[in-house]
Amino acid sequence: MFTITSKVGQLLHQDHLQAIALLQKLEEFLIGQTSKRPPDAKNETVAALLKSVATVIDDEITRHFGFEEGHLFPALAEAGENGMTSFLAHEHGMIRPVAQELGKLARAAMQDGFTEESWKQFHSLGLEMVEREIFHIQKEEMGLLSAVAALIDPQTDAELAMKFAESN
């Protein structure tokens, strides 16, 4: 593994680690459940997971993806890296609706509990989200962070890091 030398790269990496930790918890929970019988959404452990899903997956992906698409990808495109940024932005477009729907289902379950149908949807979308997002993060860790370190000058890196920190 390489050392992350850019400031914005370090911030993105921290976001990735937090997302992976939550996705792993979600995956463990979903694998331990049958898709046929809804869990008690008022159970303390389940409620905490739902809250994390609703905030971290939904909001953080919206913020994280928004920063990359609005600030980082244009800076990399200006430095000549269009292919990877287009590919990652396309993946964002595939992940975002899954994350938003999963967040919506989590918030509804926090309020009213799961129905059999909403639980089936949450279970299925949750597993899909885990698969898509972990694979996406792996690509960003291997390619995007290296590109940032190689192509973004220190001044732009500092400006991007400040913009990213302000988005929190």
Q: Is the pTM of this model over 0.85?
A: yes
Instruction: With beta carbons less than 8 A apart as the criterion, state whether 60 and 19 touch.
Output: yes
Residue-level length of the chain = 168
In CATH, which of 1.20.120.520, 3.30.460.20, 1.10.3720.10, 3.40.50.1820 is domain 7-166? 1.20.120.520
Mean pLDDT over the full length of the chain: 93
Instruction: With beta carbons less than 8 A apart as the criterion, state whether 102 and 58 touch.
Output: yes
Please report, for the chain, the start and end positions of each structural domain, with discontinuous segments joined by +: 7-166
pLDDT band at 73 (very low <50, low <70, confident <90, very high): very high
Looking at the predicted structure, is the pLDDT value of residue 67 above 70? yes
- How far apart CA 88 and CA 72 sit, in angstroms, is 11
Joined together, the tokens standing for residue 135 give 């694979």
Taking CB atoms within 8 Å and a gap of at least 24, the contacts of 49-54 are: 49/25, 50/106, 50/107, 50/109, 50/110, 51/106, 51/110, 52/22, 52/25, 53/22, 53/26, 53/102, 53/103, 53/106, 53/126, 54/103, 54/106, 54/107, 54/110
pLDDT of residue 168: 77
